[in-house]
Homo-oligomer: A and B are copies of this chain.
Amino acid sequence: MTMNTKDIRICFIGDSYVQGTGDPECLGWVGRLCASARQAGRNITAYNLGVRRETSRDIAQRWLAECERRLPATTDNYVVFSFGANDVAIEDGAPRIAEPETLANLRTMLAAAPPRYRTLLIGPPAAHDDAHNARLQQLSERMGEVAAQMGVPYLALLPLLVDNRQWRDEVRNNDGAHPQAPGYAQLATIIAASGVWWFGKQ
């Protein structure tokens, strides 16, 4: 196998699901997805910029500064955004970020990213709590509408996971929000096979 010579750099920007929280192998879906692509000959450098507890507001504040340090003008640059679960989490009786602000933050990022980098949006995964998942289902649909309006490819994970017994059991038996190794492997497989991921099998 020959490594493709294109120097590909990808920033994965988001929350704890991007970070891979709970994975005993410290790969998360980002590490598994990129290891598969590397082993298929893609010369990928992956920067994992997932941060636990961050909402769309937090991410909107930092993503560009962090990407600019990692994605030089001389390489082939990509960004993947994935967030939403912390926005709908209830604190003091209300979601941490109200839906209009989440969507405004999303619009700001999806306007700024594509002129600079090839851009992909991945929706939030399901958790254990049904009420949380119901709020997330609505947000996930709205995020898809915004992405469509702005011409950015979107992959909704929630509909694929919310009734998936293996995923739900794994999350419930862990911390109620995050899977362990099998769940992250499942996410990587879903994303790799989705058609929106740039470096699937060819």
- Measured CB to CB, the closest approach of chain B to A77, in angstroms, equals 12
* Contacts of A14-33 to chain B: CB distance below 8 A: 19, 21, 24-27, 30-32
A35 sits at the interface (CB 8 A): yes
The answer to whether B48 touches A24 (Cβ under 8 A) is: no
What are the residues of chain B within 8 A of A35 when measuring CB–CB? 24-26
* Total A residues in contact with B, Cβ cutoff 8 Å: 29
The answer to whether A19 touches B31 (Cβ under 8 A) is: no
What are the residues of chain B within 8 A of A32 when measuring CB–CB? 26
CB within 8 Å for A45 and B21 given contacts A26-B38, A31-B31, A34-B26? yes
Other-chain contact of A51, B21, B27, B52, B69 (Cβ < 8 Å): B69
**Complex copy number for this chain:** 2
Instruction: Write out, one digit per residue, whether chain A residues 96-110 have a CB within 8 A of any chain B CB (1) or not (0).
Output: 000000000000000
What are the residues of chain B within 8 A of A21 when measuring CB–CB? 45
- Assembled-state Cα–Cα distance A106/B54 (Å): 30
Q: What residue of chain B has the Cβ atom nearest to residue A25's Cβ?
A: B35
- Assembled-state Cα–Cα distance A45/B1 (Å): 34
- Assembled-state Cα–Cα distance A27/B48 (Å): 11
- Assembled-state Cα–Cα distance A61/B31 (Å): 27
A47 sits at the interface (CB 8 A): yes
A76 sits at the interface (CB 8 A): no
Instruction: Write out, one digit per residue, whether chain A residues 36-72 have a CB within 8 A of any chain B CB (1) or not (0).
Output: 0011000001111001111000100010011001101
Other-chain contact of A48, B9, B38, B48, B69 (Cβ < 8 Å): B48
Residues of A within 8 A of B (CB): 9, 19, 21, 24-27, 30-32, 34-35, 38-39, 45-48, 51-54, 58, 62, 65-66, 69-70, 72
The 5 closest A-B pairs by CB, nearest first: A26-B35, A26-B31, A26-B34, A24-B38, A25-B35
